[in-house]
Each structure stands twice: as C-alpha cells, then as structure tokens.
Structure 1
Amino acid sequence: MKRLFLFLIFLSFIFSSYAWNDCPFGMVNCTYPGKCGRYVDTNNNGICDHSEPAPTTENKNTTNNLNELTSTVNNEEIEYNYTIKEICEKYKINLDCFISILKNKIVEKLNKEYDEKSYVDIPGKELKKYTIKEICEKYKIKAEELKKYLNLPETLSDDTTFETIKDEYGIPMSEVKKAIQYLTNENKINNIVINENTTLGEIIEKYGLSKLEIDEAIKECMNNINYNTTKEVSTKNYKIIKNNNNNGIVGDVLNILFSIINIRNLLFGWLSG
C-alpha cells in the first residue's frame, strides 16, 4: 500500500509538471518565478505552463524567434547597430510596448541606484556655504522644485545660503541632501529619451542596460500582444520588492491539499477506466 501511494505521488508530480492551464490556484499567466513552488516553463516564455493554454504553432514560432534573438543579441555588431524600430520589425513586436518596457527597466535601475548610492558628495558643513542657485547648477536640478520639496517660500531668493535656510526655517542639512538626492534621480528619469531610431548600443552605453535586460524586454513584448502602454513604473518612493517564493505555512498547506486532490482525481480516473 505504501508503494502504491508513493507511485501515485510520483505520477501526480509528472502529470502536474507537464500539464497546461490547470493551476489549482486559478492563476492566469503567472510570470517567473511564480507564486508557488510548482512553477514550470517548458516553452521558455516566462509564464508558468499551469497558468496558460498549451502553445499553438504561432506560440512555437514566437519561442523560436526568441531563441534566435538570444544568439543575435550576443553578436556585438548587431547589438550595437540595430535600432528599436529594426528590432520590432524583425521580431514582430509592438514599438510602443518595447520602448515602454525599456524605459521601465531603466527607471527600475535608477531607482535601485537611488536607494543604494548617494549622489550628494558634499559634507554638511560645506553644504551650508552653498546657495540654492549653486547647488541647483551643480546637480542640474531646478531651484523652484528644490524650494517646493523643502517647503520654502517660492519668493525666497536663489542666492540664499543653506546656512540661512537652517537658521530661519530649521531645515537640517540631512533634509537638504535628501531633497537633492530625490530631485537628481527624478531628473535622470525625466531625461530618458528613447525612440524608434535609438540603437541598442546607445541604450547599453547611456543607460547601462545589459544584453540580458534587453532580451527580457523583447520577450515581455512577445508575451504581451495587448500591452497597455500606460503602465509605467512609479518614479516616486519606489522600492524594489524581491519575490522569494515564500508563501508561508498557509501556502504550503494549500500546495499539499491540491497535490492530494490531483492524486485523488488521477486515482478515480484510473479506476473508472
């Protein structure tokens, strides 16, 4: 009896691993790394097989195009010379979709840099001597935006030093640094310029995206035929949330229960056959 039970578990694992559109949690187009430990992606499209229909001939052609892309992007000559428009035409993906996803990836990179790196290299004691105008010129930010962030009067002269601001408005240099950090990052984001004539080389050199990230952007466009171009990454108070696939005790119990259900259905089908 024990061997039969283990055999049924083994069969349940095999069938559940290679089945399509049968997610026990009702997920649809569940992307990598998945919401549970049952994630499987046999057609390499970044979506769990359990949450999508079996691939058609068209889907298989898309996967072949993606495999072709992997070798293409690894070729430096093509990588640096291809424009956004040429990539979209070659792999039959939406231009707006590709540009939007690339911008989002750049924003994610900048926001991560914002959290991990300080743009302000001036000690607090030195910062006090600077005027609003001098700091804005140094970090390429707008004086009116800096004053707005610090809740200073719009009429305050740009020649006011931060020492005066501290004495009259009680704003410490740490808050001034936070304001400069935030506005510098926002300025970088607002200056992202990508169009159909931008080359992959420009994106890699100017914005620091890797070949893998560009590959992922194309893959996402292939998987999002009806992509909503209005979906953008937030540029304010953005935090990257890492999915560690930890569903807790409840998730583990549900996984076990649904595994038992799969075994039960398999056993009933076997007996009825």
Structure 2
Amino acid sequence: MGINLEYLFIWTYNGYFSDDMKKTLVFLLTFLIINTIGFNFIYSWDDCPFGEKDSSCVYPGDCGKYIDTNNNRICDRSEPSPLTNQKETPTVPIELNLPEIKGSTIKTMTLEEVAKAYSIDTQDLMESLRINVSPKTKVESLRPYGITNSMVKEKAEALFIESNKRRYGENAVINSTHQLESIESKNSLEKILKEDLLVTFGLMILGILYFFRFKRKEIRYFALGISLVYLGFIRGGCLCVVGSLQQLSLYLIGAIKGNYLYWLMLFFLPLGVTILFGRIFCGYACPIGAWQQFLNDIGTKLTKFRMPHKLDKILKYFKYLFALVIVGVVFYSRYPFFQKIDPFSYLFGFNFTLYGIISIAIVSGTSLLISRPFCRYICPYGAVLAIFSKFSIYKIKMKNGCKKCTLCDRVCETDAIANGNLDQAECIRCKKCIDSCKFGILK
C-alpha cells in the first residue's frame, strides 16, 4: 500500500507542532526562501536618500538603512546594481555580402526582380524611389520619371544595408567591392532638381538684367550657352522644366509619391517670372530654345525663308492642344509618355535610336529654316507660359506713331509682331525689336 505524502505532512504538521512552533517554522521557511533568492532583490540599489554616490558610511548609516550585501564596504544604496555593471557577452559579427549587380543588368530587370536580388521589399523600394507603378515595371522604363539605373541601384543597396542593420544591429558587417553611398545618395533626385532649379533661376535673373539694363547681346547668348551645355547635355535633358508639366500631373494623380517640392518649384518658378516679366525663361534659360536658336542663327545666313503669317498663326494654337493631350494621356495612363516622343530627350540623352535620329533631324533641320519651331508650335510648357505672358506686368510696349517699316517684324524670333501689333503671348523678350527700332517706338 502506497503512502500519501501530502496526508502524512499535514498529519505531522497538525499533530506534532503547537501554534507557536508553527509560527516559528513559517518564519524560518520564509527567511530561508529570502536568503536563497538573495538580498539584491529585496533592497534597493542607487536610492540613497541623501543622494550619495559610493558612500563609505558605516552601519547603521546616517539614514539608518545601511546595507552592504556585496561586502565592498560601500552602502548598496549609494551604488548601482551589480546587474547594470555586468559586462555584456561579446557578440560575433555577422558578415553580409552586398549583391554586386551591374547597372547595365539592373536596367533590364523589373522592380520586383531588383527587390528580390537585394532581399528587400518591392514596396519599400518603390516608396524609396517615390513612384507608384507596377512591380513588373522595368528599370529602364523609369527614366521618364527622372529615375536612372544608378539611382535604383543606390536605393536598393541602401535598403539592403538598412534592413540588415535593423535586423542584426551593430553586429552586421556589410562586405562590398565598391564604396557604399549613404541612404540619401549624393545623386539623389532632390539634389539634382535643386541644382536644376538654382541654375534655371540664375539664368532667368541674368535675362531680366539683360532686358532692363544690359545692351550687349553677347550676354544673352552666354545665358543660352550655359543653358544648352548644363541643363541640356550635362543634365541629359531628363529633368527639365518642359517635362515638369507632366511630372506635376503625375504627382497630382499619385503616380509619383513623396516630397516633390523641387518639381513643383521647377514648374511654378518660371511661371511666376512670366507673370512679372513675360517669357524670360523661354528667351534665356531653356536648353531646347537655345539649341533651336543657335541653329537658326546659322540658318539665317544661308536662307531668308519665313513661315507665312497666316499658317504661323494657325500652327501656334497646336501647342495648346498638345498640352491638353499630354495632361489627358498622363491622367489616363499614369505614364509620362512625353519623354518617349520628345526629340530633345533623345538629343540631350545621347539616345540615338532610329526614332531619335529621325526626330532630331526633323526638328534641327526645321530650326535652320524657321526660328524656334518646337517652341512656337509644340512645346506644352510654352503654351502654359504663353497664357500667363499675356497678363505680365512688365511688357514691351509700342507707342503710337509706328512707321510700319517692319524692321521689328523681320528680326522677331517668334514672329510675335505683325503689322505693328505685338502678341505678348508669343514674345520671349529677346529685345531684338527694341534694338532694331530706329524711331524709339518700342520700349
């Protein structure tokens, strides 16, 4: 027959111990438990009522609560807990190899494939690039959004580093064969746009000064040259003011995310200058206009062809229609298709495909015969500026008493003057009409 230990303990406890002995037994058991756990959990550390640190006072202490459980002759209440002084166990570094993928390879990959190659989330990559497109979109298709292959690579690398640092902390050691960029890349979209904005603004200021103060035409050609070289060929003509119309449309429909302050400023700054002084941007800061201007200066030495006035007047309305088409297509397709057909994106980007070569040849050849054909008949941003230029505060004014000599008509770069009438919408403030007038009618 088995023995019930629980019954035996209760019978012994109740049968052999008096009440006083029971109390004594409970006290001893409690003391034994406390001693086993340790005084470190009963007494407080670092809570000296006098704020002393490493106090060497002796029992019972000034507060009467002296205690020294670690026998170092320092009151426990004036020193930190031993638990906080324990040295952390050294950890083993976790080495991670950064995926090495060439830019030419990334170009042919989709965003989903890039994210998988770098073990990151596709949505995180798109948010980092501040776009809202399909994960199946190829990287090479992002250039119209102002995103290059190198930008995608840098963002993917930054996310790879960030995710592993978050997972492994300081133990993560990233191995790479090239110098890593910070998360905010030096070639970030915002930095590039900021530079574009500053250069554009500077060229417009130079144009305003020329219009009001300077007389040497070399100053204007200097501004056009800077625009053509920097905003055109160095910057690749990708992030341009003309393209900002569709970028603004993409931003409004949510196809582009994030802080696009510089895109908005790149769109509205020339617009603000136009309201004040007219189309200064077109005449002094636009690389597209500069290319056509230099070609036409060569062409005028070869031929004196001029577009018939009636046909010119009809064709000028086409740019307004084209601007509406661009906005409509962008809203419908959520894709910046303008860069696909813009000949200057091929010219400045050195992208000499069959279409690129043909379109560049057509625009350049036409520019030899006609002054600024793209600006006058096609440019969507020029259409926007033309509307506001009609209401500009500072205008070229024509006094009464015009002699109808047509000198100003013949030198006007955009055929904005006809029969003594000046069309403020088409005037780009080149000031050639003022310089050519022998009677001081224009000012």
Same fold (TM over 0.5): no
TM-score, structure 2 as length reference:
0.19
TM-score, L = length of structure 1? 0.30
Which of 1 and 2 has higher RCO (CA within 8 Å, sep 6+)?
1
